[in-house]
Amino acid sequence: MTYSALNLPLSYQRVTTELDPSNDEPRGQTSVETATAMRYNADGQLSYSDITASVTVDGAPTSFTHTITQNAYNDLGQIAAFSKTTDQGDPATHAIYQTTTERALADSTYNKQGQLLSSDIQIHDAGVASGLSSQDTARGALDHTYEVITQGLSYNRAGLAAGYQRTTVDGGKSTEESIEGAIHYDSLGRVTQQLSQFEETGSLVGSTLDHIYQVLTMHSNYDDADRAGEIEQVTLRRIEQERCRPLRHRLRRRRPRHRLHSHHD
């Protein structure tokens, strides 16, 4: 790590190695995060950062990202607005194939405890879809902009999200998502169950949308990296606001159990 004359970090490198829980030996996966050109405003708040991150498995590169973030703060030192550009690149050559740009369209708001209450973010994806060759523009070309507005965030006594309303505006289609009832957590603060309601309105490919449904999501277990091992979802489709038809499907995610060891250079 390097520091400024005011003892503020200017750059760092963080290496995370996946360890076998049975013998603490490396399992072959390593993540490297490198931050450069970190800048601060007059109040010592981080205003600009440039971060690259890569992952290798058994010595072979599997992912590469490059992210530039700029922040603006309110009078209480909370992030009010930001812009973030994330490039996804070829793991081996680092040639960029997709760029995602996020920027705040309005200042974020907070409650008296400093917890986020609302945000309004525009997201733009450009390039080619993940996993496709940069030459395959016929199938993979991206030029997609949408807006995500989050309001009414509430929290339980543990400071965990208890509810929210999120609106996604994508062209002529609008999707409103809200939490029905409580969000349930385990003793480690991980979501175990939540019921979400979605309302789709507007138009899509010449069709008029007026559709409401609910999705019950249940996380039955997590691995040592707090990743959900099995997810079960039950979808209730509302027909004329009266009858519901449940659609059930289960997603299984099998990942090796592991622990993470990090160190800084």
Do residues 126 and 182 both lie within one domain? no
Structure tokens at 87: 């490039």
Exposed (0-12), middle (13-18) or buried (19+): which is 53, by Cβ within 10 Å?
Answer: middle
Q: Which of 151, 179, 201 is the last residue of a domain?
A: 151
Residue 224 three-state SS = coil
Domain count, the chain: 2
Do residues 145 and 165 both lie within one domain? no
8-state DSSP, 170: E
The boundaries of the domain holding residue 120 are: 1-151
Do residues 32 and 133 both lie within one domain? yes
Name the one residue in this structure whose structure tokens are 């070309």: 141
Do residues 126 and 17 both lie within one domain? yes
Residue type, 238: R
Do residues 254 and 165 both lie within one domain? yes
By the 8 A CB rule, do 116 and 153 touch? yes
pTM as predicted: 0.78
Do residues 232 and 114 both lie within one domain? no
Residue 140 three-state SS = helix
Q: Which of 125, 151, 177 is the last residue of a domain?
A: 151
Do residues 13 and 82 both lie within one domain? yes
Higher per-residue pLDDT: 133 or 58: 58
E strands, the chain, are 2-3, 9-19, 26-40, 46-57, 60-73, 79-89, 96-110, 116-128, 141-155, 161-170, 173-185, 191-204, 207-222, 228-239, 243-252, 259-264
Summarised one tens digit per residue, pLDDT across range 21-31 is 788 888 788 99
Distance CA(74)–CA(9), nearest Å, equals: 22
Do residues 128 and 205 both lie within one domain? no
Residue 229 three-state SS = strand
Range in 42-46, 48-52, 125-129, 184-188 with the lowest mean pLDDT: 125-129
Q: What pLDDT score was predicted for residue 226?
A: 62
Summarised one tens digit per residue, pLDDT across range 120-142 is 999 999 997 655 554 444 445 78
